[in-house]
Structure 1
Amino acid sequence: MNAARDEEPGLSLLVHQPGEEPALLHTGLASLEHGLPIGPDTIFNVGSVAKQITAHLILLSASDNLLQLGQRAADLLPRLKISDVTVADLVTHRSGIRDAESLLSLAGFRDLDHYTADDLRTLAYRQDQRAVPKDRFLYSNTNYLLLAEILETVHRTTLPDLVRHRVLGPLGMHSTRFKTDPRQVIPGAASAYQATQHGWQHTETPVTLPGPGTLWTTVGDLDRWLTHLHQHWQHPHQLPWQEAVDYEPSDHEPYLYGPGLYADARPGRTAVFHYGHEQGFSAAAHVEASGLRVIALSNNAGLSTDRVTAAILRDLHEQPMLPPKEVLLRAATLERIPGTVVRTQPILDDRDRHTEIGTFTCDQALGSLQLTSSAGALHLWRRGTRDQLTPTGPGVHVGNGYTLTIPSSMDQVDRFTLDLDRAPGLAYIRQ
């Protein structure tokens, strides 16, 4: 390995061929401050990879007759206003419920602000209609936050206790845990970093998705989970747990989505997988119908485990005689993602040079947004920070991760619609 990269945050990789011992490779540092190298016992935040475990607990609860997948989620969550959403809709991201973290971002949360699961659930319960048509896929972390609440309701215990009793203990995943409080200390955990012009910078903040989005684990423990998943992949012509939950088209063609898993159901490619991205951490967990498992965990914001995993799988399939250890070495030397160096610049307080258009609120989101114009450009303000919008068509303007549509003349803006990737159709009205 490159000596300079050995002094950077890095990767923990695992390839497990059916009937063979797993091949592992660990590169870089878990802690830059203390010079601690990444090893087999280093614990990473795997973000949305945890969804498959949460979904598995829902399926177990259904088999125990504690709930039904087809029942209304509102039967178990009395505060939920969208009455026709089922438990299965939450599992497969077909509830149409907007992502609460995206909604909170509109309030202008700052780096050191903190929110709780209750804050996010409150935003979920403000929503009174689907943001997309029924049965349309809309990836939303809020679905799994609500599933966690359902699990805690029907089992009368906390999600961490439930997953420890039903999954982690039986599978020997003793290094794995849910982190429900950002202040909680996890022994052996890596820190996540991103590169800046002035050196490395921590990416973790007190803001974190409580519960099902904060699973911390090792490559070895994830391999135990994927082994369990494959053992229950009973029908070679079916995807895991497909007899309980159908896989349907997702937001990434040609992949399907089912119980917390994306699936490639094409002949000769059959596999299920999920990626996770959380505060500079990156994770990928992939298992094929043959039993091949590939896991990649990173604490470097410039290393995408999506790309690393794709490189590993390409070599394994195209060069089957290549030793797995060599495959991992090749993948670990992939170039960093272009443009991942963060260039921090001060935000100029130039509001006095802007013409006020109006202040707007939405009953589905917290806080207010302001529109101004300056030098012929439109700007959106939230809690003292602003985005300059780029016009892309009549009344249509694009910002950082969203589209703003003004149905009326710019001379008198009374309302606009804000479409975020995971929270579309937000109607803002002038105060």
Structure 2
Amino acid sequence: MDFNFLNTRGFHWYGYDIIENKFLDLSAVEPDGVGAATVQIVSIQKDEKNNLLYGMSVPENRLLRYDIAGSETTILGSPVEWSDFVYTNRFMWVDSRGRVYISAGSARAQWKRGESPDIFNNIWYYDPESGFGQLDDFPLQGPNAMEVGQWDRANEILYTADDQGNIYRFVDADGSWSFIGKPNFIGVEGTPKIWVFQLSADGEKIYMGVSDTSSPNAIWEYDIASGQASELAKISDLDNVSATQQFITGYDSWDSRGSFYISSFTMYNDVNVYMLGVDPVRIKASNDPDFMLIEVGAQTNDAGVRLSRTGTTTESLEVLYEVSLYDANDSRLNKLLGESVIAQGQSSVELTLESLTPSLSSGFSRAEFSIVPDGNDYVIGNAYKFDLTIP
């Protein structure tokens, strides 16, 4: 964290065109072809409602805003109380009201810069109307910037953590904040870096990665309700090559099949980054003889959809799903979230079209149903996504 950034040209905003499968250099049309001269950003966040991107620079901790429609970057600055170069948040978030939540600082000796607790032991914010401010009712467990985080699938509750493993909950509806705990990584030496953070779709588990200690890098499962943590798998159990690297990182990176993805790397060793996919449900079924692997599938019929499961029926099973609505150009207009329960002793449940699409409006061209793997109790089969026939 020094002034070497002044010798750089500047960063670029990029977009990704899913249909064309290509990256777009959004900054190519900006002055000098960069987002901002000599500025480098280390974290970004989107404001979908207002069509904006936000970024935080390192080491200056300046907040930047990119207007997607206008192709323009604005340097918003930082709170006047933030002096010197301190550790920059790797995760920040935007609420439904357009307020951006930021943090800075580190208690680790390698990055600590004498941060004042009065300034950095709280979350701060940027409001487009009023500017920067400190949130005294958003206390932290020490001056540690947020490192990782993920919203629940309804974008109503956010879970976030610093790199020490302190976990917090933010509720969007009332803007409330709470500390929910810190996992006890039993047997792990030292203070690992927590750079992996994956919230299960059912909102019950957080899969966290521990790395950069004398103990093997590993993925742990944290139960939110009980506060208990248990080791899911060592990286060496999943892939011997990835396990040779020093760090693991990755948050909010689930695919549609129930796996999340992390990277494994070491700085300055001339070895490329390894990408590793992790399916926590299949790992639990492989490691625990008492954990029965359940596969959920779906079939469409004239009345609606039948959800079915394999394996044991001794307990009821909550199944998550979503219905996506698309226009004639195949652009998604809306996504309806749902859940259903396959009752104890039953292997299937019927969903009517009325229950799947209770408030459909005109203007959509097709409706696509898909099962959502919950990342905790079940996996999905090959028949999990199809178009609904709407009369």
Question: Shorter-chain-normalised TM-score: which range?
Answer: under 0.3
TM norm structure 2: 0.24
Higher relative contact order (CA 8 A, sep 6+): 1
Structure having the larger proportion of residues in strand: 2
TM norm structure 1: 0.23
Structure having the larger proportion of residues in helix: 1
